[in-house]
Amino acid sequence: MMQIHCPFCGPRDQDEFVYVGNASVVYPPLDAPREVWCDAVFYHDNPRGWVHELWQHVHGCRSFLVIVRHTVTHEIASVRLAHPGEAAAMAATAPATDPAPDAAAAAPAAPTTAASATAEAAGEPPVRVEPAE
Amino acid sequence: MTGYRLRSGGVVDRTQPLRFAWDGTRYTGLAGDTLGSAMMANGIHTVARGFKYHRPRGIMTAGVEETGALVTLGRGARREPNAKAPAVELVEGLEAWGQNAWPSVRFDVGRINDVMGRFFAAGFYYKTFFGITGRGTGEWMLFERLIRAAAGMGRAADPADMRAGAGAGAGAGAGAGAGARTAGETWDLAHDHCDVLVVGAGPAGLAAAEAAAAGGADVLVIEQDFEPGGRLIGRADGVEGQPADTWIADRVAALHRAGARLLTRATAFGLYDANVVGVFQRAPDANGAGPSGTLRIVRPERVILATGGLERPIVCGGNDRPGVLLAGAAERYVARWGVTPGASCLVATADDAAYETAATLAAAGVAVTVADVRIGAGGPAREAAAAAGARIHDGMVPVRVAGRWTAHHAVQAVALGRVADTDPERPKAPDTPAPEAPASSARGGALAGTGIATAAIERWVEADCLALSGGWSPAIHLVCHRGVKPAFDPAQGAFRIAEDACPEGLALAGAADARADTADAVADGRHAGETAAARLAGRPAPRARPGVTAPTAARLYEVRWRDGKTKAFVDPQHDVTADDVRLAAREGYVSVEHMKRYTTLGMATDQGKTGGLVGLALLAEATGRSIPETGITTFRPPYTPVPIAAFAGRARGADWQPERLTPLHDVQAEAGAVFTDAGRWRRAWYHRRPGEGIETAYVREARTVRESVGMVDVSTLGKIDVMGPDAAEFLNRVYVNGFAKLPVGRCRYGVMLRDDGIVLDDGVSWRLAEDRFWMTTTTAEAAKVMHWLEYLIAWRWPELRVHVASSTDQWAGIAVAGPRARSALSRVVAAAAVDGEALPFMGIVETRATVAGGTVPVRIGRVSFSGELAYEVHVPAGWGAAVWQALATAVAAEGGAPYGTEALGALRIEKGHVTVAELDGRTTLADAGLGRMASTKKAFVGRALMAREGLLEESRPQLAHVVPIAATDAAPAGGEPGTQADAGLTTEAVRTRFGGGAILCDPTAPGGVGGRAGHGIGWITGVTESPSFGGWLGIGFVEGGPAAWEGREILVREPTVDGGKGRETRARVLSPHRLDPDGARMRA
C-alpha cells in the first residue's frame, strides 16, 4: 500500500488518490489526425521500471500530480503538481528556508539507492518528462 | 493414558480456574492456558477429524502452525470455524466445538472414508468424476455438487444470525457507528507508524527491541501470543545469567520505560512494498464486548523480523494419531502450561534441541525414551536428558505408530528401526555424494542425501505420546512476501534468506535466520536492534554480526517402512500423504507448484508451516532431483488467517457508502413519497396515493405530466460552475456541439465524448455571464465529469484561464413539466419572468420565488426531459423545501401532482431521451441518435477517434423503440398521443410485457437469433407502461437501428438465470422519436 507525498497535503495513504493515466503520453492537438490520436490513446508502453504517472488526490485537495513510480517496487521517486501554473505558484509561496521533508516533491528527483537493494528494483532512473502542451 | 496437568510447573495461575465448554461439555482450565493446553490438561485427546479420511486427530503443535486441532469457536453470528486450539487464548466461558464430523469428533461416520482411502488419492476429483459415462462436463457438474456438499472445513458464521444482529445493532445503536455492528461485531482499522518494527517478542525480538529503543528509536513490537517471551516462557534454564521469566520481565520493563510499545495477540500477517506491515490484533476476549480486532497498517522505517523457527516433523506411518506432536511443542506444554501430553513419551529426533524436550518431560515424571537417528550426538543436552532418566537409542528412527482401538486410535506404541542407508533402490540426488552412514561425531552430523530413510521394524516401544523433531526451519514467510527467493541451506536442511537478498530496511534476527540456540538468538537480536538504531541515525552498523553455533540436525524428513504400507501424513490438515506426493510425481506433476495444487499439500489454513518443506523433499527424492533444483512454493500473505471483516473494518453498510439525501428528501417523505436507490442517492420513486402500488402510481404520475403538470426532484443532477475568461472556449472543446457563441441568458444541451470517441455524458450548460457557465450533468456521471474537467484543465490545457467547482450539493432542483407548467410556475414567480417571451425554450432567468414568509432567489431554465413544456427551478439548498412546498400548492391548483423517478423514466422513454442506461460507455453519438449534434466547424475531444471505421458502421446497434405486437396493433406508430390502455392491465397486456436487459432476436435468421456476432440483434435498456402510446413500451438498441428494422417483427427473449429458454415476446421496432417529433410541446 503506497504512501504518496502530496505537495499540498503531505504524506497520505494511497486510498485517497486515483490513478489517472500515463504521464509520458503526449496528447496531440484536438484536430490532429486519427492515427496520431490512436497512438496517444491506445498504444502505450508498459515498462518494467520507472514510469511517469498522473494521479489525482481525489479525496484530498483534488490536485493532479505527476508521480515517478517504479512498477516493480512501487517506490515513488518524486511527486509534483501537474498544472505548471499551480506548481509555479506553489514554489513561489513556499518559504525558501522550509526544510520540509517532501521539499523534493516539487521537482522529480533521482530515486533513492534503496530501490536497487533488491535485484528486481534495478532499472533506469526516472527520465524527466514535461507534461504535454 | 492421555495428557494431564502436572502438580506443579508452568506459568499458569493455579488459583484462577477458567470454565470452558467443549462440544457442550463443561471443563475447567487455568488462567494462562490456551484452549489446546486446557484440553490436554483435561485428557481430551481427540479434538478433530481429518479433512478427507476423517481420522481422529489430536493436538500436534503449540501454536499457529497447528495441523490437527482445528475447532469452531462460539456460535451463531460469532461462530469462527477452523480456529487452531493451541493458538486460542483460554477465556472464561469460551465455547468450542468439534467440526468436520458427524455426529461428533468422538464418533464420526465419515471415518468410512479412511477405509475407502485408496479412492481418495491425489487428484481424485479430477480422475474419478470425469468421463465415467462419457458425459464430460455435464457429469462433472453433477458430481461437483456432491463433492462440494461433503467438502469444506467448519461452517462460517450463520448469515441468518448476522442479519438478526444487524437489526438489533441498528435498533440499539442509533447514530454513527451503528452500521458497523451489523454482525454483532466491530472491527477497527488503524494506521500506525514507528521507527523500528520488531516482529516477534521471543528471545531475539525482545533483545532487538531493547537495543533499538536504547539507541533512541521509536519501537513497536508485535507478538502473536498473548504473552511475550516466545519459547522462553516457563523455561528452567537461564538467559544472560537470569532465569528466563525474569529476563523476559526485565526486557518488557525496559521497553516500557523507553516508551516502546508491545502489542500482544497481534500477528504481522503480511509484509508489503516499502516495508509496510499488515498487523491483525485480536481482542483479548473472543466472546467479550468491544471490537473483535484491529487491523493495523504499520509504516515503519525499519523492520526486524524475529519470527523464530518452525519445527519440522519426521513423517512416518500413523504419524497423525492423537498423541503425536512436535518435540518443541511437547516441551512447551510442560514448561509453560504444566501439562504433559502423556505419561510415557517417545522422542524421535534428528536434532539436539529435542533433548531439551526429553529432559523437561523426564524431569516432570514422564517416562521418556529417545530415538536419535544420529549416533552419539546431542552434547550436554543429551547428558542432561540421560541424567533426568531418559533412555536413549542411537541410530534409531520411528517407523510406524500403533494406536489403540479403544481410544480413537491414540498412540499406544511406536515401532523403531535402524536406518538402511545402503538401500539400493533409493534414488540419489545428482548433486550430493552417495548417502553414507550417519556420522558419529559428538555433534552428530548431517545425514547426507535425500533425508528419506527406509527402515525395518526392529523393536516396539510402548508410549502414549510421540514427540517428533526433524530440525527447525527459519520462519521466513514475511520476507518472502517481498518477492525474495529463499535459498536452501544444506547445513540446516532448510530454506534461509541470504543476507544480501534482504530488502533495504529489513533484517532477520535469531531463529528466523537459523540462530536457534537461545544465546545465539539473543546476541543476534541485540545486534539487529543496535544496527537499526544506528542506521536510523545515519551511522553504520556498530559491529559485525555475531557468529552462529554450528547446526546439529541430521537431514531426516521421512522414514519409510521397508516391509509394508501405512498412511504417513505430510500435511495432516489436508490429509496429504507421502504416497500422494509420490503419486503426483509419477503422474507428471514434477513442478513443485503443480504438485502443491494437485495434492493440495500446504494449501490448508496452516499453509504447510510444518510439513511443507518435507513435501518438497519427498518430491525431490521421487524425481531424482536435489531440493534446490525442486524449489519451494511461494509464500504469500497472510501468514495466518485474518477475518475478511477485519479488512472491511467499520466501512460497512451506510458507513461504507454514505447515503445521499437531497434537500427535498424530507418534504417529499412527509407527503408520502416512496424512495429508491439511485447510486448513492435516495430518490423519490413515486408519490403514493391511498390504494396505489408502484405499477399504478407511476402511470398516473406520467399521465398527469402529459395532461396537466407535474413536478419532480432533480437535485441529484451534477452541477459544476465553470468560471474564467476562457470558460466558453473550454466548453467548446469539451462538448461535441458549439458553446462559444451561446448567448448569456441561454442554455444548451450538450454531449461530451471521451478521447476514444465514445459518449461520456450529456447535460445542459447555462451561460450565466460571459465568463461563467453552469453545467449540469447526469446524476450517475456527476463525479466522473467533474474529474474529467479537472483533468483537462490541469493536464491537457493548462493555458486556459478557467476553473471548475462542484455545486451539486449547494442547490435543490425541481423540474416542473406539463402543458400547465407555466401557469403553475406563474403562481410562485412573477408571471412576466417566465412568459414565453422572457423565458423562451432553452432560456434561463434568475428571479425570486414567493414562498411562505417571503421570497427566495431561484434560477430557472426552460429545459425539458419529458418532452413537455418544462422548467428546471434551482434554488439554494436551504430554501429547497420551502420552494417545493410553494410549487406543490401551485401544481395542485393546476390539477397536477408531484412525480418520481419511475414516471420520469416513463416520460423519457416515450420521448426517446437517453440516460446512463443507454450511455453505458459503449455508445457513440450516432448509436444514441445524436450523430448530427457533432460540430463540423470546430475541434472537440473525441472527434478524431469517433471516426474510427468500426464506430461508423451502419450495422451498429442504434437507439430504437421496441413495442410488443399486441400493443402496436392497439396503437399503431404515430397514433394519437394520449391513447391509453386501461389502468387495470389486461391479460393480453401482461403477456406482452418484457423487461430491461432482454435480448432482441431476428426470427428470420438461422436459429432465430441473428446479429453480427450471432448473439442477437440488440437489447432492451428501459421499459415502461406508456400513457401516451398505450400498452408496453421498450427502448433499447437494435443493429442498424430503426432505419434497418422499422416496422419489422423481432423476438424479445428474456433468458432465465439458470440458462433456460425463458420468455419470448413478439415485438416491432419503431423510431424512438415519435412523441411530438417537431418539439412543438416543449417549445409551446
Average pLDDT value for residue range B699-727: 98
Q: Is the pLDDT of residue A98 over 90?
A: no
Matching residue, cell 405530466: B705
Work out the pLDDT band at B693, boundaries 50, 70, 90.
very high
CA distance A52 to chain B (A): 13
Q: What is the pLDDT of residue B117?
A: 64
Whether B795 and A73 lie within 8 Å, measured CB to CB: no
Q: What is the pLDDT of residue B654?
A: 80
The residue count for chain B = 1084
Q: What is the pLDDT of residue B444?
A: 32
Q: Is the pLDDT of residue B895 over 80?
A: yes
Q: Is the pLDDT of residue B1054 over 80?
A: yes
Q: What letter represents residue B600's amino acid?
A: T
Say whether residue A3 is in contact with chain B using an 8 A CB cutoff: yes
Q: Is the pLDDT of residue B431 over 60?
A: no
Average pLDDT value for residue range B269-279: 95
Q: What is the pLDDT of residue B767?
A: 98
Tell which of B481, B795, B806, B946 to mutate to test the A interface (max A CBs under 10 Å).
B795
Nearest to A38 by CA among A50, A25, A51, A47: A25
CA distance A33 to chain B (A): 6
User: Closest partner residue to A64 among B482, B503, B794, by Cβ?
Assistant: B794
pTM of the model: 0.83
Q: What residues are paired with A55 via a beta bridge?
A: A19, A65
Q: Is the pLDDT of residue A55 over 80?
A: yes
Mean of pLDDT over chain B: 88
Search chain B and give the residue with CA nearest A18. Answer: B787
Q: Which residues of B touch A3 (CB under 8 A)?
A: 274, 276, 299
Show the beta-strand stretches assigned E in B265-336.
Answer: 266-271, 277-282, 293-305, 309-311, 324-326
List Cβ neighbours of B38 (8 Å cut-off, separation of 6 or more): B18, B20, B27, B28, B29, B30, B90
Between A124 and B40, where is the model more confident?
B40
Strands B660-661 and B681-687: what pairing? parallel
Whether B944 and A36 lie within 8 Å, measured CB to CB: yes
Between B28 and B160, where is the model more confident?
B28
Whether B504 and A1 lie within 8 Å, measured CB to CB: no
Q: What is the pLDDT of residue B436?
A: 41
Tell which of A15, A44, A64, A69 to mutate to test the B interface (max B CBs under 10 Å).
A64
CA distance B960 to B1052: 13
Whether A56 and B790 lie within 8 Å, measured CB to CB: yes
Q: What is the pLDDT of residue A41?
A: 96
Average pLDDT value for residue range B418-431: 48
User: Closest partner residue to B791 among A2, A3, A20, by Cβ?
Assistant: A20
Q: Are B87 and B34 in contact (CB under 8 A)?
A: yes
Q: What is the pLDDT of residue B170?
A: 35
From residue B316, how far is each of A100, B24, B313, B402, B860 by CA, in Å? Answer: 62, 34, 9, 11, 85
Work out the pLDDT band at B1059, boundaries 50, 70, 90.
low
Nearest to B952 by CA among B935, B985, B927: B927
Q: Is the pLDDT of residue A101 over 60?
A: no
User: Closest partner residue to B276 among A1, A30, A73, by Cβ?
Assistant: A1
Q: Are B196 and B300 in contact (CB under 8 A)?
A: yes
Of the listed ranges A112-116, B241-245, B735-739, B848-852, the one predicted with least confidence: A112-116
Chain-centre distance of CA B943, in angstroms?
A: 41
Q: What is the pLDDT of residue B49?
A: 87
User: Closest partner residue to A13 among B191, B941, B947, by Cβ?
Assistant: B191
Whether A64 and B796 lie within 8 Å, measured CB to CB: no
CA distance B538 to chain A (A): 14
Highest mean pLDDT among A96-105, B126-135, B484-493, B940-949 belongs to: B940-949
Whether A118 and B483 lie within 8 Å, measured CB to CB: yes
Search chain A and give the residue with CA nearest B272. Answer: A1
Whether B272 and A1 lie within 8 Å, measured CB to CB: yes
CA distance B638 to chain A (A): 15
CA distance B724 to chain A (A): 15
- Provide the grid cell at B644: 475478511
Whether A40 and B273 lie within 8 Å, measured CB to CB: no
Whether A34 and B297 lie within 8 Å, measured CB to CB: no
Q: What is the pLDDT of residue A113?
A: 39
Whether B798 and A85 lie within 8 Å, measured CB to CB: yes
Nearest to B805 by CA among B750, B724, B735, B691: B724
Q: Which residues of A touch B936 (CB under 8 A)?
A: none
User: Closest partner residue to B798 among A36, A75, A84, by Cβ?
Assistant: A84
Average pLDDT value for residue range B645-662: 88
Q: Are B1080 and B868 in contact (CB under 8 A)?
A: no
CA distance B116 to B55: 12
Q: Is the pLDDT of residue B411 over 90?
A: yes
Mean of pLDDT over chain A: 79
Residues of chain B with pLDDT > 90: what percent?
72
Q: Which residues of A touch B948 (CB under 8 A)?
A: 34, 38
Whether A82 and B795 lie within 8 Å, measured CB to CB: yes
Between B1082 and B148, where is the model more confident?
B1082
Q: What is the pLDDT of residue A124?
A: 45
Q: What is the pLDDT of residue B298?
A: 97
Q: For the range B24-28, what are the long-range contacts, defined as Cβ-Cβ under 8 Å and sequence gap of 24 or more?
A: B24/B97
CA distance A41 to chain B (A): 7
Residue B926: how many other CB atoms lie within 10 Å = 21
Average pLDDT value for residue range B548-572: 90
User: Closest partner residue to B940 among A30, A38, A40, by Cβ?
Assistant: A30
Whether A40 and B755 lie within 8 Å, measured CB to CB: yes
Say whether residue A67 is in contact with chain B using an 8 A CB cutoff: no
Rg (CA), chain B: 38
Work out the pLDDT band at A108, boundaries 50, 70, 90.
very low
Q: What is the pLDDT of residue A20?
A: 97
CA distance B260 to chain A (A): 24
Average pLDDT value for residue range B47-72: 91
First to last CA, chain A: 32
The predicted-structure confidence for B495-514, as pLDDT tens digits, reads as follows 999 888 999 999 999 999 99
Q: Is the pLDDT of residue B274 over 60?
A: yes
Tell which of A5, A41, A57 to mutate to test the B interface (max B CBs under 10 Å).
A41
Between B105 and A77, where is the model more confident?
A77
Say whether residue A56 is in contact with chain B using an 8 A CB cutoff: yes
Q: What is the pLDDT of residue B992?
A: 75
Chain-centre distance of CA B687, in angstroms?
A: 40
The answer to ipTM > 0.85 is no
Whether A20 and B274 lie within 8 Å, measured CB to CB: no
Matching residue, cell 402510446: B1029
Search chain A and give the residue with CA nearest B942. Answer: A30
Chain B interface, Cβ < 8 Å to A: 191, 272-274, 276, 297, 299, 482-484, 501, 503-505, 733, 755-756, 787, 790-791, 793-799, 939-941, 943-945, 947-948
CA distance B458 to B468: 19
Q: Is the pLDDT of residue B68 over 70?
A: yes
Q: For the range A66-73, what are the long-range contacts, defined as Cβ-Cβ under 8 Å and sequence gap of 24 or more?
A: A66/A23, A66/A108, A66/A131, A67/A4, A67/A23, A68/A108, A68/A111, A68/A126, A69/A2, A70/A111, A70/A115, A70/A121, A70/A123, A71/A47, A72/A48, A72/A120, A72/A121, A72/A123, A73/A115, A73/A118, A73/A120, A73/A121, A73/B273, A73/B274
CB–CB contacts below 8 A, A to B: 90
The predicted-structure confidence for B175-220, as pLDDT tens digits, reads as follows 333 333 344 678 899 999 999 999 999 999 999 999 999 999 999 9
CA distance B818 to B436: 99
